[in-house]
Chain A
Amino acid sequence: MPQKLWREPLDAQKTKLPKAEICIITDLCKGCGFCIEFCPKNVLEQSEQLNKKGKHPPEVTDESSCALCGFCTAICPEFAIFVVEKKGENNVGNEEKE
């Protein structure tokens, strides 16, 4: 069905997904770049900043598109990144489930 879908769906607010908060422990990062390369939503980027190890840890470019899949956490060899659900913000769909 090739029609253009341009409207905001009527249930867009109701079905909004939980918002993510991405936590990066910058000094643990050894700059391997796995999280940046493999993030399916491309929300991470290498930062300019240097950490204690002299590496460039990732920084978040667009937290709102994070899908909370947790893949970055799973592949980080240094346990330097994890994602938690942001509380209280637009988590209607989520609350209904609970």
Chain B
Amino acid sequence: MVDRESSKEEPRIGVYICHCGLNIAGTVDVEEVTRFASTLPNVIISKDNRYTCSDQGQQLIKNDIKENNLNRIVVASCSPRLHEPTFRKACEEAGLNKYLFEMANIREHCSWVHLNDKIEATQKAKDLVKAAVAKVALLEPAIEAEVPITRKTLVIGGGIAGIQAALDLADTGYEVYLVEREASIGGRMAQIDKTFPTMDCSICILAPKMSDVGHHPNITLLTNSEVKEVRGYIGNFKVKVLKKPRYVTDDCSACNECSEVCPVNIPNEFDVGLATRRAIYTPFAQAVPSTYVVDKEVCLNKEGIMACDKCIIACERQAINFDMEPETLELEVGTIIVATGADVYDPSALLNYGYTRYLNVITSLEFERLINAGGPSGGSLIRPSDMKIPESVAFIQCVGSRSEKGNPYCSNVCCMNTIKDSLLIKEHWPRVQIYVFYVDMRTFGKGFEDLYRRAKEKGVIFIRGLPAEVVEERKTRNLWLTGENTLQNKLYKVNVDMVILSVGIQPCQDSEAIQRFFTLSRTNDGFFMEAHPKLRPVDAPTGGVFLAGCAESPKDIKDSVTQASAAAARAGILMAQGKVTVEAITPKPIPENCRVCGLCAQVCPYNAIIVDKENKLVEVIEAACAGCGTCGAECQFGALHMRHFTDDQIMTQIDALTEDDASKKIIAFCCNWCAYAGADFAGVSRIQYPPNVRIIRTMCSGRISSKFIEHALSRGAGAVLVAGCHPGDCHYIGANYQTKKRVERLWKKMERLGVNKSRLQLLWASAAEGERIASKINEMQVTLKGLTTKEVEKAREAFSDN
């Protein structure tokens, strides 16, 4: 593509203000903003449009570029995180370099968060457009570098989602590493007896897939393994996987002789402790790989001491080897699928249900093992206290879900699971009386309502209203449930032989580690956040990383499989293309300004800057650089030109936003990944906050140089907010620690100069914390209200030298 424009050419700007139906036009006076935009310098065309992102909207821009020789475009509409790629593409198609496009976010950051203040919202929209027009005039065309993509995938988690994703990609022809922490793949689905709504046997449909994984030539299965470190970026990840030793070689024929002689007998995790296993064992009959494993935690043989050799003697194939060592594998992959699954809620925290105090109160997962023919009771539904088949059972729904005590969200699968379980009981023991105590029965999926109807037909009694309390009768160990039937406004007191707690699903304990590896975000509920809830539901915000299964949110098997196939397809698209372009936002050294001090290299989280003091050279390794801009903020001599987020461009945005009424405004610098996204989320959630805040986007809070903040104060800004990812969650490893240092340094300086330091605030907020951002802005109003003209002037003077 030939760039018609050059940065030296006089800017000819086209501005397009979007109504977004009534989403923007309902609050912002779009015509007024359009008229205002036409008065701004270098603006040739200013138009409003009902839906700028539509085909017609894009066509209008393309035509205008050609007919009017526009060389800069501004669209004021939604968040650039949503539609910047759309409009950039349109620009490109019209022959305009896509880096000469800028967006003003007047929806998520304006109309949606100031629904009841049309005048102020319109004023804010004008400001945002003014800043965008000012910035766009200074933008420079750029050509993106291409990076090759390694055609291999890492799938983390060997549950049904991980299995499906691995098989789909392997069948497509890509090499797959499947990493599973446990000794066998299979995950939760392997523990479950039947699946709803079709009542298929769970392990019968899962085991063939597990076996396919085990035999697939394109899949390297790494069980008993954990991801320890992830480096790199989309297309080029370097992953360290710790493969713990099994102490049993592949020669194992799974004959079980070793297990029989093993002198250590402990509860089996797979059977939720309802059965025992030995220290050398296989988790369950269909395990893949079928090779046995030694649980070194409980085995009598410790480091360097062989106390017991019974299994070694018993093994005819001599497959047991206690000399095996942990291995650290270094994998190079292009894409990664996170399918780490979920944990079940532990109901012992809910004291009123008596779990762990009463033997006959069990969880739905324990029920699955009890009703399973391969389980500890051989498929016989028995109650733990006396091993007798109960005559009556009660299911309690929403245990740990939709409640203040447990988790606030709906766990999605428990209603259907209970219906399925009640039908299973009715199938084998039709006389068992079944009560289901519920809040709402949610049977929303294909075939779900049918199953619900069948359960009712079979005589399962559904009672709305959870029991307040479960009390055990000492002698019989039967259980009394008391509560209110909210449909009949009557109290109930029901006596049953056994209670089954329908426990919810919660995020995995180690999702925090995974979050760090990939700098992902989690929702308030703790599940991983997708790049876009509607349009990119399986993409993680980090390029080249995809989500599948319960790691993303609670879901049933069908949804997990669907999502896994989707994630595999998304990863496949990247790998089929074989290359990816890197955003042209990396720094360019300006040798004549550089004093080769090396500060930039010190703060670079990626070691992407090489300082050659002898030859007085600074070099940026583009492939390693992620474009956070921390180096640019650190450089005191203007020797690093941060492309697309240059000092001049940010300064001109500050200028535009502080032109009038500066003292009443908050200038907020937000990082693209957490704080800016969090402000977007506030918009999507329609969280309302005062309209006097003006957000400037940078890729990382590390880009925010002290001089930007000082400049804003010297322009008379009432307050400045610097917002980034939580420490440790930074999208650029640890660049935000530099942010913290700089802000702290500035606070000291403000103190020294006698400037009220509460006018500069630092906030850590994730992409899910819209509320947090809103409350910070509210909090800052107090400072603004108490601000005197004298104080503003003082800060103005104090920082004006800079």
**Given B269, B276, B348, which contacts A12 in the complex, CB threshold below 8 Å?**
B276
> B272 on the interface (CB 8 Å rule)?
yes
A16-B276 Cα distance, complex, nearest whole Å = 10
> B208 on the interface (CB 8 Å rule)?
no
Q: A9-B275, A12-B276, A71-B308 are in contact. Are A17 and B265 (CB under 8 A)?
A: yes
> How many residues of chain A are within 8 Å of chain B by beta carbon?
24
B273 touches A15 (CB 8 A): no
> Mask for A13-26, Cβ within 8 A of B = 1, else 0?
00111000000000
Set of chain B residues within 8 Å of A38, measured between Cβ atoms: 305, 307
> Mask for B761-794, Cβ within 8 A of A = 1, else 0?
0000000000000000000000000000000000
Q: A10-B387, A41-B300 are in contact. Are A5 and B264 (CB under 8 A)?
A: no
A10 touches B308 (CB 8 A): no
A11-B356 Cα distance, complex, nearest whole Å = 18
Instruction: Write the nearest CB–CB distance from B172 to chain A, whole angstroms.
Output: 31
> Mask for B293-323, Cβ within 8 A of A = 1, else 0?
0000000111001011010000000000000
A71-B359 Cα distance, complex, nearest whole Å = 38
> A68 on the interface (CB 8 Å rule)?
yes
Set of chain A residues within 8 Å of B260, measured between Cβ atoms: 97
Set of chain B residues within 8 Å of A69, measured between Cβ atoms: 263, 300, 307-308, 310
B343 touches A3 (CB 8 A): yes
Instruction: Write the nearest CB–CB distance from A72 to chain B, whole angstroms.
Output: 9
> B198 on the interface (CB 8 Å rule)?
no
A11 touches B307 (CB 8 A): no
Secondary structure of the B side of the interface? loop
A40 touches B276 (CB 8 A): no
> B509 on the interface (CB 8 Å rule)?
yes
A1-B188 Cα distance, complex, nearest whole Å = 9
A4 touches B348 (CB 8 A): yes
A17-B384 Cα distance, complex, nearest whole Å = 22
Instruction: Write the nearest CB–CB distance from A58 to chain B, whole angstroms.
Output: 16
> A7 on the interface (CB 8 Å rule)?
yes
Task: Identify which of residues 53-98 in chain A touch chain B, using a CB-to-CB cut-off of 8 Å.
Answer: 67-71, 97
B376 touches A11 (CB 8 A): yes
> Mask for B341-366, Cβ within 8 A of A = 1, else 0?
00110101000000010010000010
Instruction: Write the nearest CB–CB distance from A44 to chain B, whole angstroms.
Output: 13
B377 touches A10 (CB 8 A): yes
A9-B278 Cα distance, complex, nearest whole Å = 13
Set of chain B residues within 8 Å of A10, measured between Cβ atoms: 274-275, 376-377, 382, 384, 387
> B182 on the interface (CB 8 Å rule)?
yes
> B727 on the interface (CB 8 Å rule)?
no
B272 touches A3 (CB 8 A): yes
**Given B182, B307, B310, B356, which contacts A40 in the complex, CB threshold below 8 Å?**
B307
A40 touches B274 (CB 8 A): no
Set of chain B residues within 8 Å of A12, measured between Cβ atoms: 276
A3-B264 Cα distance, complex, nearest whole Å = 21
Task: Considering the complex, give the chain A residue whose CB is closest to the CB of B508.
Answer: A2
Task: Considering the complex, give the chain A residue whose CB is closest to the CB of B509.
Answer: A2
Task: Considering the complex, give the chain A residue whose CB is closest to the CB of B268.
Answer: A9
> Mask for B647-681, Cβ within 8 A of A = 1, else 0?
00000000000000000000000000000000000
A11 touches B300 (CB 8 A): no
Set of chain B residues within 8 Å of A67, measured between Cβ atoms: 263-264, 300, 308
Interface centre among A39, A71, A97 (most CB of B within 10 A): A71
**Given B182, B267, B307, which contacts A5 in the complex, CB threshold below 8 Å?**
B267
Task: Considering the complex, give the chain A residue whose CB is closest to the CB of B365.
Answer: A3
Task: Considering the complex, give the chain A residue whose CB is closest to the CB of B300.
Answer: A40
Instruction: Write the nearest CB–CB distance from A69 to chain B, whole angstroms.
Output: 4
A3 touches B376 (CB 8 A): no
A11-B276 Cα distance, complex, nearest whole Å = 7
Q: A38-B305, A40-B307 are in contact. Are A9 and B274 (CB under 8 A)?
A: yes
Beyond A3-B344, A68-B263: 12 further Cβ-contacts under 8 Å?
A1-B182, A1-B343, A2-B509, A4-B348, A5-B267, A6-B273, A9-B276, A17-B263, A38-B307, A40-B302, A67-B264, A69-B263
Chain B positions near chain A (C-beta within 8 angstroms): 182, 260, 263-265, 267-276, 300-302, 305, 307-308, 310, 343-344, 346, 348, 356, 359, 365, 376-377, 382, 384, 387, 509
A-B contacts, 12 of them at CB < 8 A, read: A1-B269, A2-B343, A3-B272, A4-B346, A5-B267, A5-B272, A6-B273, A7-B273, A9-B267, A9-B271, A69-B263, A71-B308
Chain A positions near chain B (C-beta within 8 angstroms): 1-7, 9-12, 15-17, 38-41, 67-71, 97
The 5 closest A-B pairs by CB, nearest first: A5-B273, A67-B263, A40-B300, A69-B308, A71-B307
